[in-house]
Amino acid sequence: MKTSIYVSADQILAIGYTGKTVNKVASHPLPEGTMFNGNIMDAPFLAECLTSMKKDYPALFKGGVSLVVDGSSILTRKLATPRLSHKQYLQRVRDDFADSISDTNDLVAAYKKLGDGTILGCGVNKQQVDSYADTFKLAGIKLTGIRVGTELLYALVRTTTFLQQATIVLNLLDGTTMLSAIFVKGNNIMMQRTRLYGDEKEQIHAQINDSLSNLNQFVQSQKYDEITQSYYLGISNADMVLLEGRNTHEGINVSKLVLYAGAVEIPPEAHFACLNMQYGQSGIDLIAARSELERYVRSKRPKKWWIPVLTVYAAVLIGIAAYLFMELRDVRGSIGEVEAYLHDPANVFALQELNDLINETNDIFRISRQFGERIDWENSMPAAASRMINQILFGHGIEVNISSFDFNEATGRVRVSASAADATIGPAYVDALYAIGVAQDVIYTGFGAGAGGFSFSVEIILALEEGEDE
């Protein structure tokens, strides 16, 4: 029997299974603060809970144990790529997540081919992966794999026909967080996490209903077919009835998505563990990706070619020393004469003048080389007019609040993060950039909803003109 484990913010959930049949389901409560956003905050205490669970349910831990993890600290992104080798795919993921981590040597990169000219890239800090493996090891449990929850949602849609028929939303509730993914005929166009606040169910249900409104507005603004179905995971039957009663979206049916039907009942909150049981065998494995990172780091270290070179050099020196030792007796008589010549004041003065001349010549060559390199570097830069920057920040005429601005001179690209009061303002801002002629192309990655409004980000390829000064 194999076991699939998911550690949520408030409990450990384990499913023991054979093939695709569930044999046993177990859970263990966790106090608040043990886990946060997919990160282990109290590793010793979590190890104690795992040890206790292993003692209570020994049969669950005799076979292979795999862990599924989720949280905003586990970065995932859909990337368009040509056909590449395995190492090239990994490098593509590292390049895309390079700005999300201080040292790329700490980035555990992995990917899953989606079959439509795209891959799902995943990036995690190696300390986070190590914390999972070390905590389970402390409890005497060896993990056979660490799977990624977001990737399992893709696998669910890819293998379920009725989820590929129209525009749908998959909503996965996990404590006070809801992960929502929009799929248009099986193709994911957006994924967002929503923080749910409130102690009363009415407050939570109202926020879930509002989130669906925001997602529907996004789909309409992007000219996709309207949402027809919103599925929910991690919700009880009673809460689903209440949520259906609050549904105010005409044309959108809301319902609970059942992942497994068998003799053993799986609690709603065990959704990730169940998805791992069904689709985790061929998914992203962060343990394998962690080993891949070690090989990548080792490959970047300088080769120790100097060892054989130094050995040969030492042998040559020994030979020369032996030869010189044999000749030493013949030259002792000439040493005094040579020393007198070397210490002659006229010779010392001439040598000093020669050294000064060599140093001045080297300085001239160095300055000349630096000047040439500076000219080559400036010629390689694209010209970006200050007018363009002003139009991107202020002259677009759209009511947006720009929170970050990053211009890459080497590529002629500008990344902008902004927020607005309405979900339709992001596309309007993109249209304005085209209209004023500042953008050759704009990559719009969608928006996210928060307490302060709607946030979005765009990547602008500047419409540069020949001879335009920065």
The angle that helices 306-342 and 345-380 make with each other, rounded to 10 degrees, is 140
Query: How far is C-alpha 60 from the chain's CA centre?
Result: 32
Residue 208, pLDDT above cutoff 90? yes
Task: Tell me the average pLDDT of the chain.
Answer: 87
Look at residue 157 and tell me whether its pLDDT is greater than 60: yes
* DSSP secondary structure, 247-303, as one string: ---TT-EEEEPP---SSSPPPGGGHHHHHHHHHGGGS--HHHHHHHHHHHHHHHSPP
The C-alpha atoms of residue 72 and residue 191 are separated, in whole angstroms, by 11
pLDDT at 41 over 90: yes
Asked if the model's pLDDT at residue 466 lies above 60, the reply is no
Tens-place pLDDT, residues 405-430: 888 777 778 888 888 888 888 888 88
- pLDDT of the residue at 385: 53
pLDDT in tens, 219-238: 999 999 999 999 999 999 99
Residue 469 pLDDT more than 80?
A: no
Tokens of 313: 């050099």
467 band by pLDDT with thresholds 50, 70 and 90: very low
What average pLDDT does range 100-106 have in this prediction? 88
C-alpha to C-alpha distance for 268 and 272, rounded to whole angstroms: 10
- In the chain, pLDDT over 70 holds for what percent of residues? 92
Task: State pLDDT tens for residues 271-315.
Answer: 999 999 999 988 899 999 999 999 999 888 765 666 677 778 888
More confidently predicted of 23 and 333: 23
Q: Which residues pair with 290 in a beta bridge?
A: none
CA distances from 338 to 162, 280, 341, 342 (A): 97, 81, 5, 6
Residue the block writes with tokens 């601005």: 405
